[in-house]
Amino acid sequence: MATVLEKSVEMQGARSMGHMALHYKNKEEGPLAARLLTMLGYELTQDLLLPNGAHFYRFVVDPKHSPRGDGIVYLSLIPDAQRDLMDAIHKALDVGTDHEHAAVVAMREKMDQDPEYSFHYGTLLESLEDLEAIFLALEDANQNDPELKGRLRLVYNRALPGNPDVDARLDASPIYGGVTRYAYGKNGVQAFLETDLLSSGILGETMMLEFDYVFPGYDRHVLSIVEWE
């Protein structure tokens, strides 16, 4: 039976999530990666041009974090040593060829089935309408934006069914209405963006970003209790 771990240190003050450091893959695509984060609702607070010509960006998830040390998303060019390591891994495992290592093929299959299978970064929104607007814009960009077309993979998870009010709202949603995938919990939804503009994970090929919304008034929801259908 799972138990709640006891704190090893008695905390004297509050804590919050400080920052997430993301990497874009190519120097020339730094501004495009930053534009994508802006489309996702993050607020740009610094754009520093480095001597090597790459940009270092500071975003916050909400304007209230601008003067603080939390709620930050840093975006910078992937370091040379990390790029070299990924190149070596790709070469050793024949990544991207017709004879990829079986472990790579199996991992790709798992990621295609479940966006949460590997490392990802989640942002909680307080408005379902905001989430819908963001992802409708991403869907359009993936079809029509000359710089982003075909580079955005979008996946949606509905709340587990059973709450008539939630089910009715999602049936009427412009993005969740026809969705048959379900989250590991009730009373909340997930939307995932995978893009090759950003580098993360075991192979460093893409980054998975998750956006969540929890319907108000429910203690039991997708981000409080993990459930299975």
pLDDT of residue 119: 93
* Number of domains into which the chain is organized: 2
| Residue 42 domain flag | yes
Is 29 among the domain residues? yes
Per-residue pLDDT of 214-224, as tens digits, reads: 999 999 999 99
Q: How far is CA 134 from CA 1, 24, 71, 176, 204, in A?
A: 40, 21, 19, 13, 25
Supply the CATH number for residue 33's domain. Answer: 3.10.180.10
Residue 99: inside a domain: no
- Measured CA to CA, the distance from residue 17 to residue 19 in angstroms comes to 6
Instruction: Please report whether residue 3 resides in a domain.
Output: no
Q: Does 176 reside within a domain? A: yes
Q: Which two tokens stand for residue 156?
A: 């949606």
Is 56 part of a structural domain of the chain?
Answer: yes
Same domain, 127 and 63: no
pLDDT of residue 12: 85
| Residue 28: DSSP 8-state | G
Are residues 126 and 201 both part of a single domain?
yes
**Res 3: pLDDT:** 63
This prediction has a pTM of 0.92
In a domain, 68, yes or no: yes
Domain containing 25 equals 17-77
Residue whose token pair is 């190149």? 87
Q: Which residues of the chain carry a pLDDT beneath 50?
A: none
Q: Residue 32 is which amino acid? A: L
Q: What's the pLDDT at 2?
A: 56
User: What is residue 4's predicted lDDT score, i.e. its pLDDT?
Assistant: 65
The string of pLDDT tens digits covering residues 19-53 is 999 999 999 999 999 999 999 999 999 999 999 99
